[in-house]
Amino acid sequence: MPFRNFKIIYRRYAGLYFCICVDVNDNNLAYLEAIHNFVEVLNEYFHNVCELDLVFNFYKVYTVVDEMFLAGEIRETSQTKVLKQLLMLQSLE
């Protein structure tokens, strides 16, 4: 979907939309799947994630985002590696 000088790629999960805004030349399907990869990580991390998990733990969601996307780029795609890092950080709490 075009948005200003960019485009938005989105995927809907139940009542929630996950949107990602990228350059018009960027690869649509790659970002569509990046959203899914992200949601699978959230699901694993929060054990069957629901909307309220994301609201009440918004600061943790930011951490997950930073692990997987940084500076507008895909940083890490391995679910195993991301989850390992997240669990390590959780243990510091």
Partner 1 sequence: NKNSCVEAGIRGICVGRCKSKEAEIKRINKELANIRSKFKGDKALDGYSKKKYVCKLLFIFLLGHDIDFGHMEAVNLLSSNRYTEKQIGYLFISVLVNSNSELIRLINNAIKNDLASRNPTFMGLALHCIANVGSREMAEAFAGEVPKILVAGDTMDSVKQSAALCLLRLYRTSPDLVPMGDWTSRVVHLLNDQHLGVVTAATSLITTLAQKNPEEFKTSVSLAVSRLSRIVTSASTDLQDYTYYFVPAPWLSVKLLRLLQCYPPPEDPAVRGRLTECLETILNKAQEPPKSKKVQHSNAKNAVLFEAISLIIHHDSEPNLLVRACNQLGQFLQHRETNLRYLALESMCTLASSEFSHEAVKTHIDTVINALKTERDVSVRQRAVDLLYAMCDRSNAQQIVAEMLSYLETADYSIREEIVLKVAILAEKYAVDYAWYVDTILNLIRIAGDYVSEEVWYRVIQIVINRDDVQGYAAKTVFEALQAPACHENLVKVGGYILGEFGNLIAGDPRSSPLVQFNLLHSKFHLCSVPTRALLLSTYIKFVNLFPEVKPTIQDVLRGDSQLRNADVELQQRAVEYLRLSTVASTDILATVLEEMPPFPERESSILAKLKKKKGPSTVTDLEDTKRERSVDVNGGPEPAPASASSTPSPSADLLGLGAAPAAPTGPPPSSGGGLLVDVFSDSASAAAPLAPGSEDNFRAFPKHPRISAGGSEFVCKNNGVLFENQLLQIGLKSEFRQNLGRMFIFYGNKTSTQFLNFTPTPVPRCGLDSLTRTHLNLQTKPVDPTVDGGAQVQQVVNIECVSDFTEAPVLNIQFRYGGTFQNVSVQLPITLNKFFQPTEMSSQDFFQRWKQLSNPQQEVQNIFKAKHPMDTEITKAKIIGFGSALLEEVDPNPANFVGAGIIHTKTSQTGCLLRLEPNLQAQMYRLTLRTSKETVSQRLCELLSQQF
Q: Does 87 bind partner 1 (CB under 8 A)?
A: no
Site size toward partner 1 (CB under 8 A) is 64
CB of 58 to partner 1, least distance (A): 6
CB of 44 to partner 1, least distance (A): 10
Q: Please list the residues that pair with 7 across neighbouring strands.
A: 2, 22
At a CB cut-off of 8 Å and minimum separation 6, what does 89 contact? 63
Q: Does 37 bind partner 1 (CB under 8 A)?
A: yes
Q: How far, rounded to the nearest angstrom, does the alpha carbon of residue 1 sit from its chain's CA centroid?
A: 19
From candidates 41, 57, 86, 87, binder to partner 1 by CB under 8 A: 57
Consecutive H or E run containing 38: helix 28-45
